Homo-oligomer: A and B are copies of this chain.
Amino acid sequence: MSKTKKTTIVLFSGDYDKAMAAYIIANGAAAYDHEVTIFHTFWGLNALRKAESMEVKKGFMEKLFGKMMPRGVDKMGLSKMNFAGFGPKMIKKVMKKHNAMSLPNLMEMAQEQDVKLVACTMTMDLLGLQKEELLDDIEYAGVAAYLGDAEDGNVNLFI
């Protein structure tokens, strides 16, 4: 009797390329029948933001953070060679040329494969992000839930 394998990824980074790496590994692991969780925390939460601005009540600082941070993966920059937004455009063009899946597609695929997408509630508070601003069908949890998953994980990564 073999046990289901588990992969957990903490997505801390808000960079397009790192989020791509996280979702490629997650989709790969799900294809191998792993139970997969991506725990989005700090800047990684931005990957879960809806593209449109939502009407939510916020304090001044939370509004400021909200404005400065990218709304969703398509607004995110690269960890290297970002060149004020030119880098991501290049990468996306090359990906299209090579028929590679875009990050929004990788995220859809992850949801179809039942990868558990979790938003870290503690850092949502810190950055002033509210549930209305994040994608539907995700889960909300804290570090305890993450550790519960990770302590039985076969592959645990911090990205």
Contact = CB atoms under 8 A, between A and B. Distances in A.
Interface of A: 5, 7, 10, 12-14, 17-18, 21, 24-25, 28-29, 31-32, 34, 41-43, 59, 61-62, 64-65, 68-69, 79-81, 90-91, 93-95, 97-98, 100, 122, 125-128, 143-144, 146-147, 150-159
In the A-B complex, list the 10 residue pairs whose CB atoms are closest, starting with the nearest: A28-B143, A157-B158, A150-B155, A151-B154, A43-B80, A98-B125, A28-B147, A158-B159, A155-B156, A5-B151
Given A21-B42, A28-B147, A157-B157, A81 B68 contact: yes
Contact of A128 (B18, B34, B94): B94
Contacts of A61: 90, 93-94, 97
B153 A155 contact: yes
B81 A100 contact: no
A34 B157 contact: no
Given A94-B126, A128-B94, A21 B5 contact: no
Contacts of A31: 144
A144 B32 contact: yes
A65 B80 contact: no
A31 B143 CA distance: 11
A21 B39 CA distance: 12
